[in-house]
Structure 1
Amino acid sequence: MNTTAPRTPSASVPSPSLLLEIALAASHLAAEYLRGLDRDGLDREYKTSSHDIVTEHDRASEEIIVAELRRLLPGARIVGEEGGERPAEVPAASAGDAAGAAAGGQVSFYVDPIDGTSNFAAGLPLFCISIGVAVDDELVAGVIDAPILGQVFAAADGEATLNGRVLRPRATHDAADALVLSGFPGQRLGTRFPDFAAGAQRRLEDGVSCVRHLGSAALELAYVAAGWADATSLGTINSWDIAAGFHILRRAGGSVRTWPGEAGEQRPDHLQPAYVACTGQERLAVLDELHEELQELRDSQQ
């Protein structure tokens, strides 16, 4: 389990507020593109399975974001869902003072150009652009933009906001009154650990007031940050899905716990594959306990 809190980056790297401005500029361009599309009858491709799809617009959105990030901060590293890792185009110290050159640390943008692609392709509005920003593996800024819903969640080193309105901290409800947004344990864990997954789903549904699954990890984190739900959780995830959401949720007063999964080694939270995030510092025991059991299962197979 990892509970390490972010530290403040050194003065020689771009300020968190400047990095957030850069991320917002890139997400805004992609949001404008996605809002202008006719989403009836979109073609889709399968990446790993029918549960993991991609459209041409995922790639186009990512290219729009990458081009803007490159223009504004060419010394940054970009990790995108579709394009993988793109190293800095120029050495950090040469990126230019106007762009806030990262002379004392590596800036990384974690980009999901459309989180919730299945929703997007089906015509549902529950999808978003997610851009998380880290300096030397410490999250410092994030933006989650749901273009059809008109919701922009953002945070740097100040308070988290929704469309400019501050998200105030809220306590996590007791389990009997708690709403959980989650697809945990999900199809992948169901295939790998069928007995655990079947029992875990029943225990979660019996242990809280209700469980809903939105189909977008980033939006689920944003909605927990807003206090519209009490917790969210997944057992397999990628950094571009949760980097922005983790930062926004913490700046809104929430708490995150992560587990190392099958890698078996502790890494920064946004690089861990399993997590439970709550709207307040209070935890939902049933979710934490299920993840402890899942980690024990994974450890036993190493």
Structure 2
Amino acid sequence: MWRPPDPVIENDMSQATPETSVEMPAGFDPEESAQLRAVAIAAAMAVAPGLKAAFRSKMVVDFKNDLRDIVTEHDRAAEVAITEHLLAAVPQSEVLGEEGGLRGSGPVRWYVDPIDGTANFARGLPNWCISIGAVVDGQIVAGVIVDPMGGNVFSADLRGAYLNDAPMRSNAAQEARFATLISSYPAARDFAADGKAAALEDFGQLVEGFSSVRRNGSAALGLAHVAAGWADAAAGFGINAWDVTAAVLILRQSGGRYLPFAYGQTPAAEPAFVHPGYIAIGGGGDYPFLSQTWARIAASRS
């Protein structure tokens, strides 16, 4: 069973960073992060078969904030099962889930999205995943994304990133004109925030600047694909910590970069995974106009 590390005095983890390197909480052993990764994999794999069996079946669908914010009975049931697994394996921890809020208490905080891409799941589209990330002292120390339909497990700890337990390295096209971007922008909420004409103009520049632009409906899975080298970049707004916590570590440990954008909604010093906007770029990629476009949009919203 995982045990918390000994307390460390004057451990300041307050500064977020968009850099590729991963900071290790002082006094935290990489082997302990590997144990947390194993716990997260086991929790995700425990619910994966049931979710796969429920996929494309008749299901109860509810709406949260609006008709585009979907939740199913399977989201809720999977989160309960994941939470129980995590708290049983690591009693001194707490779980923050998309559907059920915060449970437990301890030095490890788990961020859980039982189905990232619920709209896809509910409609019968296979782009959805289970995402679990572990955070200690404000730093991500383990992350797991399970894609039941693709049969892939993307994961990371403080030793590295893995695809189905094999070491994984991100590899992106150097220039945007050869690159594939995964992005949800613009969604309806972006029209409301930025104006339809301006948002469509920015989208047009992305379409013209990249070799291809794809919308996959799951931020976590899109980031995992950048980490695996299957896409070159990903970008979006309006995300939550449970969407990306696992993916941020997986991407950075694979050699990619994750650049957060706060645009006034979160304090700038908060960790990268809590900010609502992001750009992810695979190893070797350099797309200045994407960073400039996202910075301009974020500034206009601040």
TM-score normalized by the length of structure 2: 0.89
Q: 1:17, 1:157 within 8 Å by CA — same for their partners in 2?
A: yes
Q: Are positions 1:255 and 2:272 aligned together?
A: no
Alignment map for 1:268-287 (pairs within 5 Å) = 268-287=271-290
**Match of 1:174, as an amino acid?**
E
Residue 292 of structure 1 aligns to which amino acid in structure 2? A
Residue pair 2:87, 2:94 contacting (<8 A) in 1 also: no
Distance 2:274 2:185 in 1: 18
Aligned to 2:12: none
> Which ranges in structure 1 are unaligned for 5 or more consecutive residues?
93-105
Q: 2:132, 2:143 within 8 Å by CA — same for their partners in 1? A: yes
Offset, 1:284: 1.4
Map 1:129-208 to 2 at 5 A. 129-194=130-195, 195-208=197-210
Give unmatched runs, 5+ long, in structure 2.
Answer: 1-15
Q: Deviation at 1:239?
A: 0.4
For 1:165 and 1:124, locate their aligned partners in 2 and report how far apart those are by CA, in whole Å. Answer: 27
**Amino acid across the alignment from 2:146:** D
One-letter amino acid of the counterpart of residue 7, structure 1 = E
Deviation (angstroms), 1:2:
4.5
Contact 1:172 1:278 in 2 (8 A): no
Residue of structure 2 equivalent to 1:27: 44
How big is each residue's C-alpha offset from its partner over 1:101-145, in whole Å with a ceiling of 9 and x where there is no partner?
xxxxx2111000000111111122211000011111101110000
Residue 62 (1) aligns with residue 79 (2): yes
Alignment partner, residue 294 of structure 1? 297
Q: SS of 2:192's equivalent?
A: helix
Matches within 5 A, 1:115-126: 115-126=116-127
Residue aligned with 1:142, SS: strand
Per-residue deviation at 1:12? 5.9
Q: Percent identity, aligned pairs only?
A: 38
Residue 84 of structure 1 corresponds to 101
Secondary structure of 2:54's partner? coil
Aligned residues: 283
Partner residue, 1:98: none
Matches of 1:189 and 1:16, distance apart in 2:
37
Q: 1:12 and 1:187 mapped to 2: Cα distance?
A: 42
In the alignment, residue 276 of structure 1 is paired with which amino acid? I
What TM-score do the two structures reach when normalised by structure 1?
0.89
Counterparts of 1:107 and 1:264, CA distance in 2 = 22
Aligned-residue offset at 1:283:
2.7
